């Protein structure tokens, strides 16, 4: 590539060239989705069999399996303070797991599968979800969990 790379591209390729694997976290079935909290304290993963593992970076390789109802979960995301984990399912349900209290609530179900959930990087109370029907729903979790 030589002279055809910009400075930022050169920096990126140098970083990639010096990259190395730090650790392997082993689940039981294929991984469907993974997320890391903004504070780098936890990693959460969804496996094809519906298992959701919460890994503490400080206690690797130990993990906790979240005691959620069995379902085909598709997507997982931490909010920007790492306290809430949103989990979207093929059954149209979004589950909000409270990391500290170790309990969950569900948002109102839709008829369409939830393919993606992601929190706003600016506001910890705003969640965006994407569906099979091509719709995006915006949720303000501080205002009664209703879509906007």
The 84-89 sheet, strands edge to edge? 73-78, 84-89, 94-98, 103-106
pLDDT at 146: 46
Question: What's the Rg (C-alpha) of the chain?
Answer: 18
* DSSP conformation letters of 28-57: SS-EEEEEE-TTSSEEEEEETTS-EEEEEG
CA–CA dist 115, 130 (Å, integer): 6
Tell me what percent of the residues of the chain surpass a pLDDT of 90.
Answer: 53
pLDDT at 40: 72
Alpha carbon of 10 to those of 5, 13, 20: distances in Å? 6, 5, 18
Per-residue pLDDT of 19-69, as tens digits, reads 776 667 778 888 899 999 877 788 999 999 999 999 888 888 888 999 988
Higher-confidence position of 115 and 27 = 115
Judge if pTM exceeds 0.95.
no
């Amino acid at each position: 590539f030589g002279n055809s790379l910009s400075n930022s591209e050169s920096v990126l390729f140098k970083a990639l060239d010096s990259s190395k694997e730090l650790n392997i976290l082993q689940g039981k079935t294929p991984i469907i989705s993974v997320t890391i909290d903004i504070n780098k304290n936890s990693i959460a993963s969804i496996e094809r069999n519906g298992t959701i593992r919460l890994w503490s970076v400080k206690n690797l390789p130990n993990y906790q399996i979240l005691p959620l109802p069995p379902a085909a979960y598709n997507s997982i995301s931490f909010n920007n303070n790492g306290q809430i984990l949103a989990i979207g399912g093929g059954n149209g349900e979004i589950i909000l797991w409270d990391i500290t209290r170790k309990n969950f609530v569900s948002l109102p179900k839709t008829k369409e599968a939830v393919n993606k959930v992601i929190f706003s990087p600016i506001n910890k109370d705003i969640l965006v979800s994407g569906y099979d029907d091509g719709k995006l729903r915006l949720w303000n979790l501080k205002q009664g969990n209703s879509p906007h």
